[in-house]
Amino acid sequence: MRYDKGMVNIIMAALMSLALLPYRSTGGIFHNYDMQAEQKLAEMSVDEKIAQVLLVRYPDTGGISALAEHQFGGYVFFAKDFAGKSAAEVQDLMENLQAVAKIPILTAVDEEGGTVVRVSSNPQLAPVRFKSPQAVYAAGGLSAVAADTKQKSVILEKLGLNLNLAPVVDVSTDPKDYMFSRSLGQDAQVTAEFARTVIETSRGSEVSYTLKHFPGYGDNLDTHTSSSIDQRNFDDLVQRDLVPFQAGIDSGAEAVLVSHNTVTALDPENPASLSSNIHVLLRLGLGFTGVIITDDIAMAALDAGAETTLQAILAGNDLVITSDYVRSMRELRLALADGRLEMVQLDRAVKRVLAWKYYKSLIL
């Protein structure tokens, strides 16, 4: 392991100065595209930079016009957005969205399998609903996981979707846990092999995969509906929950999604998604150089009255999943104006998103 309990506190002393430094790759996953990303960044307006760090929940109406006006980093689509649509209609929607984007957008879904199937819940888009990770693994082990990942990639790519907010690599072996049905249901070592298999199998496709929910969901409550306090000790996290994330990162994971659980061993005050400590652990402890994404900031686990988009960027996220882009853009614009957010901090996140898009060949 490249981290220990004292590491987080030691490096926190230097965190603020680190955050104010421009993003410079040190041989990370996107380092070959740093120069192109920096050149693109220099061409962007402040509002375009702000919009680029937002992964917006696709609105019920006006999605194309909103993108044309604001130029978001991407959209997240849910089952309702595909309901009743044919594959050709979804393809047309994605093409029309990309046509109005000055910078090609991320088109994201949660296609985990099992209870979370945004695309394959529509029989017009997939031959069958994707099975849960547990069912896939039980049927054929890691070879079945690889085949399942390939099939997901083919279907999503054909539809014009380029980011899967999966796999769930949380370690859960207790059926009473909220996350159990969405997890592999195996111990840390087997879940690590699952993470490694999904990431390695996804290489070469146009669909990126996302390890979630960092730093591990454990037996915590559903953060969609309430706050969730994780009181496990640091050693438990290291020996169990961080293991699959490390395996996925070492295998070339491009993105990690951070939960809203408050993990008291790392930060007793803030949800993980808004915690600098958590992001320091992910970056410097686990050596992750890709894009960090928040879980949806509209979830009830976060304070609805707080400036959560601003807090998320200050904590170290690169992309913020938001359902209220007007509010999110206003928060960042005001924070830049009054000095609570330095432009260099915003630029770090934007540049990493841009480098990712070059890496993915979205930007040519």
Higher pLDDT, 15 or 255: 255
% of the chain beyond a pLDDT of 90: 77
The count of domains in the chain is: 1
Q: What DSSP element (H or E) covers 55?
A: strand 54-57
Is residue 72 pLDDT above 70, yes or no?
yes
Higher pLDDT, 6 or 294: 294
Task: Say if 320 falls within a structural domain.
Answer: yes
> What is Dmax (Cα atoms) for the chain?
56
Average pLDDT over residues 22-27: 46
Residues present in the chain in total: 364
Supply the mean pLDDT for the chain: 90
- The Cβ of residue 193 has, within 10 Å, a number of other Cβ atoms equal to 17
Residue 149 tokens, joined: 């990942």
Q: Are strands 116-117 and 111-113 parallel, antiparallel or unpaired?
A: antiparallel
3-state secondary structure of 200: helix
Range of the domain at 61: 28-359
Distance CA 221, CA 171 (A): 14
Task: Say if 4 falls within a structural domain.
Answer: no
Residue 38 tokens, joined: 């920096």
224 has catalytic annotation: yes
Q: Which amino acid is at 14?
A: A
Average pLDDT over residues 104-133: 97
Task: Say if 3 falls within a structural domain.
Answer: no
**Pick from 103-107, 117-121, 284-288: least confident:** 284-288
Q: pLDDT tier at 8 (50, 70, 90 boundaries)?
A: low
Average pLDDT over residues 287-304: 80
Task: Say if 224 falls within a structural domain.
Answer: yes
pLDDT number for residue 236: 86
Identified catalytic residue from 148, 170, 230, 295: 295
Higher pLDDT, 106 or 226: 106
Task: Say if 21 falls within a structural domain.
Answer: no
Is residue 132 pLDDT above 50, yes or no?
yes
Task: Say if 14 falls within a structural domain.
Answer: no
Identified catalytic residue from 224, 236, 250, 347: 224
β-partners of residue 119 are none
pLDDT number for residue 300: 46
Distance CA 156, CA 119 (A): 8
Higher pLDDT, 235 or 322: 322
Q: pLDDT digit string (tens) for 243-270? A: 999 999 999 999 999 998 899 989 989 9
CATH code of 189's domain: 3.20.20.300
Distance CA 315, CA 208 (A): 24
With a CB cutoff of 8 Å and minimum separation 6, the contacts of 26 are 289
Task: Say if 73 falls within a structural domain.
Answer: yes
Task: Say if 106 falls within a structural domain.
Answer: yes
Distance CA 73, CA 44 (A): 13
pLDDT number for residue 20: 40
pLDDT number for residue 166: 98
Closest by alpha carbon to 213, among 81, 346, 80, 112?
A: 112
pLDDT number for residue 13: 45
